[in-house]
Amino acid sequence: MPHERTRVAIIGAGPSGLLLAWALRQSGIDSIVVENRSRDYVLGRIRAGVLEQGSVETLTRLGLGDRLAREGLVHDGIYLQWGGERQHIDFAELIGRTVTVYGQQEVVKDLMAAHDAAGSTVYYDSADVAVHGVETTSPRVTFTHEGEAHDITADFIVGADGFHGICRSAIPASELALYDRTYPYAWLGILADVAPSTDELIYALHEDGFAMHSMRSPHVSRLYLQVDPAEKIEAWSDERIWEALQVRLGVDGWNLTEGPITEKSITPMRSFVASRMDYKNLFLVGDAGHIVPPTGAKGLNSAITDVTLLAAGLIDHYAGDDTRLAGYGAASLGNQWRVQQFSQWMTELLHRDTTDLQSADFNYRSQRGRLDYVSRSAHAQRALAEQYTGLGF
């Protein structure tokens, strides 16, 4: 059985795991990444699309910014829409910050290319991944790869293995509280081979439910519809999807151009936070420790924040200073609760909740009142702009 030794064993080759391995490598700290899915599967997962300005700066600082600078679409703001009216919120004018539309898949592709060129060790298609002895100074990871059993001993184990991963459960239940809520709606997302009908993202509250128009490139549109979490994707023909998008996104004098749908799926929405991001020599980053509903575009960005904080802590540790590593959990959670309240606010601002019929109509009108307030108050717009583009504390 191959016995390997590394400083940091990372479980999961999503954006969190690959970025952490890359940040450590840039500072001369070796790591090994263990992923249970295939490389193609990881690359093919269509998820987030918006990078905060701080995330762009982080990727650029780590030497991952070339294609991002060429192909990323810099957006000065977003549109909010309700009651048939669309209002532009101009982040650049309000606070001098922007966001960049660049798919999570592209970030992962850039990371894979960087690791390939550098010769990093990433085991894809690993089976029976297990972590052992996280409370000791020599924790281990075991797994099977290409029929061979592997055993890695490390100084630290990092759970970058997403919400359904195994690392969070290596923390004793008595040491961990889980805070979560589910929402009575889900997102049906499509990719379509058609030029976006808008220059910046449109977030719309409609009586029939939320809709959003995003994009991936000048030729590919990404659109979302609020649906019931129990809906089956088979019930949504391409015609039905476009029809709903036309109704919910429609405003006078504007046209939504339709095109061939190349991907469609339904994603449930939940908020979830684990009460700790570290336990002895185990650290959690990204979705392994927390999930947000996607409305504020924060999932990928908070994963990047975690990685930035943890990489700094580990780099300091190997330079003889444990202050930042000891503060990682508190720093990550502090950021996360700011992110959670914003994601919850954006979600509840823009989705139609009809579960309680008695208050549904009241709530809808109150939501429109809130949007009307945001549209009139420069203070409210600045608060939105600051949080959407990333606080960068």
Reference 24, options 373, 308, 369; nearest CA is: 308
Residue 16 touches which member of ligand FAD, ligand DHB, none, C-beta under 5-8 Å by kind:
ligand FAD
Distance CA 197, CA 218 (A): 10
Nearest-approach distance from CB 45 to ligand FAD, in angstroms: 7
Is 388 annotated as catalytic?
yes
- Segment lying near ligand DHB (by CB under 6 A), choices 86-94, 111-119, 142-150, 291-299: 291-299
Q: Is 213 helix (H, G, I), strand (E, B) or coil?
A: strand
Residue type, 49: G
Distances, alpha carbon 346 to alpha carbons 6, 85, 333, 349, 370, in Å: 42, 18, 20, 5, 11
Helix residue ranges, H only, the chain? 15-26, 39-44, 53-61, 66-71, 91-95, 104-118, 238-249, 299-318, 323-326, 328-350, 357-376, 378-389
Residue 300 touches which member of ligand FAD, ligand DHB, none, C-beta under 5-8 Å by kind:
ligand FAD
Compute, in degrees rounded to 10, the torsion defined by CA atoms 294, 73, 68, 61: -80
Residue 245 binds ligand DHB, judged by CB under 6 A: no
Residue 8 — φ and ψ, nearest 5°? Answer: -130, 120
Count CB neighbours of 375 within 10 A.
15
Among candidate residues 183, 185, 203, 224, the one labeled active-site is 203
- Segment lying near ligand DHB (by CB under 6 A), choices 35-43, 292-300, 304-312, 321-329: 292-300
Among candidate residues 290, 294, 317, 328, the one labeled active-site is 294
Residue 53 touches which member of ligand DHB, ligand FAD, none, C-beta under 5-8 Å by kind:
none
Residue 222 binds ligand DHB, judged by CB under 6 A: yes
Residue sitting closest to ligand DHB (CB): 49
Residue 294 binds ligand DHB, judged by CB under 6 A: yes
Residue 131 — φ and ψ, nearest 5°? Answer: -115, 145
Residue 165 touches which member of ligand DHB, ligand FAD, none, C-beta under 5-8 Å by kind:
ligand FAD
Reference 302, options 271, 325, 256; nearest CA is: 271
41-80 residues near ligand DHB, rule: CB under 6 A: 48-50
Is 88 annotated as catalytic?
no
User: 108: which residues sit within 8 A by CB, 6+ positions away?
Assistant: 14, 15, 18, 42, 43
Nearest-approach distance from CB 214 to ligand DHB, in angstroms: 3
Residue 295 binds ligand DHB, judged by CB under 6 A: yes
Taking CB under 6 A as the criterion, the residue among 10, 201, 245, 311 binding ligand DHB is 201
Distance CA 149, CA 1 (A): 6
Residue 197 touches which member of ligand DHB, ligand FAD, none, C-beta under 5-8 Å by kind:
none
- Segment lying near ligand DHB (by CB under 6 A), choices 66-74, 293-301, 305-313, 321-329: 293-301
- Residues of this chain that interact with ligand FAD (CB under 6 A) are 11-17, 34-37, 42, 47-49, 104, 129, 160-162, 164-166, 267, 286-287, 294, 297-300, 303
Nearest-approach distance from CB 128 to ligand FAD, in angstroms: 9
Residue 201 touches which member of ligand DHB, ligand FAD, none, C-beta under 5-8 Å by kind:
ligand DHB
Residue 14 binds ligand DHB, judged by CB under 6 A: no
Residue 104 touches which member of ligand DHB, ligand FAD, none, C-beta under 5-8 Å by kind:
ligand FAD
Count CB neighbours of 233 within 10 A.
11
Among candidate residues 298, 317, 328, 351, the one labeled active-site is 298
Distance CA 98, CA 74 (A): 7
Q: Which residues sit opposite 223 in a β-bridge?
A: 190, 213
Reference 15, options 54, 45, 36, 38; nearest CA is: 45
Q: Which residues bind ligand DHB (CB under 6 A)?
A: 48-50, 201, 214, 222, 294-295, 297
Q: Which residues are catalytic?
A: 75, 203, 294, 298, 388
